[in-house]
Amino acid sequence: MKSSTIIVLLVSVTLLTVAAAPLPRDGSSSRSHHVSVDVCNCDETGQESSLQCDCDLRWLEHSLGLTAHWIAFTTTYWLYVEKISDTSTKFFQYLGLWRTCSDIQFYICLPRDGVADAAFNAVQAFAIFGFVALNVSFILMVLSMFCEKYKGNIEACWAIIILMFVSGGSWLIAVIVFGVKVANEVSDLRFSFGLAVTAGIISVVTGLVTILTRGEASNEAPARVDA
């Protein structure tokens, strides 16, 4: 993936993030226009919970991040390398987190499990941390939306926020280590790498906005009680 393509991708993510920003809470009319889903500030009666979690979990951003995570984690297009074989034949090689594919004679993929490369093993490890953290946070979000036991649960809310930061930080560390490792190689970063960067940024931004939204809701809570 060319650097210009990565820049366009990141700008697109930023625009999506701004577009998905929650609107001010000025009553039921503004709530009906929310593009994200408040999943932990209502109790079973539909009224605002006394726990006042108000963690706007940003359903759209979370879903986009999860999709990017899965594609980056499972595909073999992190890196594209053009090589020359011993017989002076040009061939191409594609590298992912778990497999290396090439077309030197015919298209074949080989696993990269157990490769003795400390830097690449670190990339795999942090990618696993980020992947697991986001999936667990998504499960908690679904439980908060549909399970009465978790609605209004402030511990679940903070667990989701922490997992979003763990996921985003882990993915960003993974792509930085990977980028440094291949910086001196004649290669071309591909869409899987770009999606990994996107996934990390979405996770961090979603975590930050969730905290800010919760803070605004906490400041508004006394006014609603007095009314």
pLDDT over 90 (residue 70): yes
* 24 contacts: CB under 8 Å, gap ≥ 6: 30
Asked, for residue 162, whether it belongs to a domain, the answer is: yes
Q: With respect to residue 100, please indicate whether it lies within any of the assigned structural domains.
A: no
90 within domain boundaries = no
Burial grade of 65 (CB within 10 A; 0-12, 13-18, 19 or more): buried
Confirm whether 58 is domain-assigned: yes
Q: What is the pLDDT of residues 84-108, one digit of tens each?
A: 666 666 767 888 888 888 877 777 8
Greater confidence (26 vs 164) lies with 164
Do the domain assignments include residue 150? yes
Q: Return the pLDDT at 17.
A: 46
Q: What is the mean pLDDT of the chain?
A: 71
Q: Report yes or no on 102 lying in a domain.
A: no
Domain assignment present for residue 164? The answer is yes
In a domain, 130, yes or no: yes
* Confidence category of residue 44, pLDDT binned at 50, 70, 90: very low
Q: Which residues pair with 48 in a beta bridge?
A: 42
List residues bridging with 83 in a β-sheet. Answer: 91
The whole domain housing 212 covers 3-72+116-184+191-226
What pLDDT does 185 receive?
A: 67
Residue range 129-177, pLDDT digits in tens? 999 999 998 888 888 777 777 776 788 888 888 999 999 999 999 999 9
pLDDT at position 58: 64
Q: Is the per-residue pLDDT at 21 higher than 50?
A: no
Q: What angle do CA 177, 183, 189 make, to 5 degrees?
A: 85
